[in-house]
Amino acid sequence: MELGEWFEPAPGFRVRLWNAGHILGAASAEIEAMTQRGLVRLLCSGDIGPDNKEMQADPQAPSGLDYVVCESTYGNRTREHLTIEARRDLLEREINTALARGGNLVIPVFALERTQELVLDIIRLAEANRIPGAPVFVDSPLASRATSVFARHAGELEDMAGVDIARHPSIHYVEDTAESMRLNSVSGAIILAASGMCEAGRIRHHLKHNLHRRDSTVLFVGFQSAGSLGRVLVEGAQRVRISGEDITVRSAIRRIDTYSAHADSAELLAWITARFPISGGLFLSHGENDAITGLEALVRAQAPGLNIIAPRLGESFALTPGAPARRLRTARMDATAALGTDWQNDYAGFVTNLKHGLAHLRSDRDRQRAIAEMQRVLRLAQETNPQ
């Protein structure tokens, strides 16, 4: 199905897709639905990419709709807008600083697009002799397969002329598990591995073997959601638990936002206002509470009379041509309360730091007293809050 081409997924509905500028294949969906009260025009943003993104064209979509559903991942954040060359300058500094420490540079990545952008920039830097000739490993079978797709369609993507990212001699694609495990013994390498938020995949294996090393560096290049291991590390955790093992964090933890595949608050606001007029309402979704609240405030300043809804899990709405949405079902309070971090996140952090904290007390007697006090507090909580 080509972008901009109407199709009918079900009787009474027709849909066409618009480039969202996010990652390869990402699209916004314009939906027309025939109801008893007339035709409803709805646009779902999907994930919106930033302007001037490497490989992808800028987002596009129609205007003059009844309703718009817009993501708000970076609804309360603005980023420094850099040219591709300035972004490569920043990556060059991070790579050179990390490798000068003597250990590995570990980069958690998403298999689709983030990996390919980094690989392309690393190749450009290597070809210009701007970074040392360190081995570069992409340790993700999915990322390897996705990179082959990008390479086959290089002529349809921006900024990829003259380089085959799937077969370049500077990049080693790691396929089998045994080869991945052999990376435990390397130093002075650049290792890209999924997943980007460190919740699964081979990246956890590399973190386990590098976080404790003072000479290694972990570089985050993407969004880290609340409760994820990546977010915990970015926020400065001194110890983490990986695969049942407590790991002391001694490596350098670095972060750059220039590879984000999401539009920031200013770009989201520009995308929304370009959809005006919106006669029925704007739904803000796919964001943490602060992000949704921040974007809502920006939109209200531009369009004070616009009906803006931040739907919660379990809510449903009736959509009518040219009229505000009508709520049919309220939110599930049990599910809403479970969003974000919870007691299990707190428990994991507490257990990870417990042994270290006890070890820093002066004597075994002090440690026993501390344990007894914690047990007393737990018993008191059980007595005052029985099941």
CATH code of the domain covering residue 301: 3.60.15.10
Write the CATH number for 95.
3.40.50.10890
In this prediction the pTM is: 0.77
Q: Is residue 281 part of a domain?
A: yes
Q: Are residues 327 and 357 in the same domain?
A: no
In this predicted structure, what is the pLDDT of residue 342?
61
In this predicted structure, what is the pLDDT of residue 381?
85
Question: Is there a contact between 116 and 200 (Cβ–Cβ < 8 Å)?
Answer: no
Count CA within 13 A, CB hemisphere, residue 374. Answer: 11
In this predicted structure, what is the pLDDT of residue 68?
98
In this predicted structure, what is the pLDDT of residue 153?
87
pLDDT of residue 95 exceeding 90, the answer is: yes
d(CA 116, CA 93): 19
Looking only at the bridges linking them, the beta strands covering 245-248 and 239-242 are antiparallel
Q: Are residues 20 and 123 in the same domain?
A: no
Residue with tokens 């797709």: 149
Q: Are residues 201 and 105 in the same domain?
A: yes
Q: Are residues 186 and 322 in the same domain?
A: no
Query: 109: which 2 tokens?
Result: 């990545």
Question: Is there a contact between 219 and 107 (Cβ–Cβ < 8 Å)?
Answer: yes
Query: 328: which 2 tokens?
Result: 């049919």
- Mean pLDDT is lowest, of 25-34, 185-194, 197-206, 362-371, for 362-371
Looking only at the bridges linking them, the beta strands covering 217-220 and 252-255 are parallel
For 312, other C-beta atoms within 10 Å of its C-beta total 14
Q: For the chain, what is the mean pLDDT?
A: 91
In this predicted structure, what is the pLDDT of residue 167?
93
Highest mean pLDDT among 15-19, 79-83, 359-363: 15-19
Q: Are residues 65 and 94 in the same domain?
A: no
Q: Are residues 173 and 296 in the same domain?
A: no
Range of the domain at 375: 343-384
Q: Is residue 1 part of a domain?
A: no
In this predicted structure, what is the pLDDT of residue 44?
98
Beta-bridge mates of residue 66: none
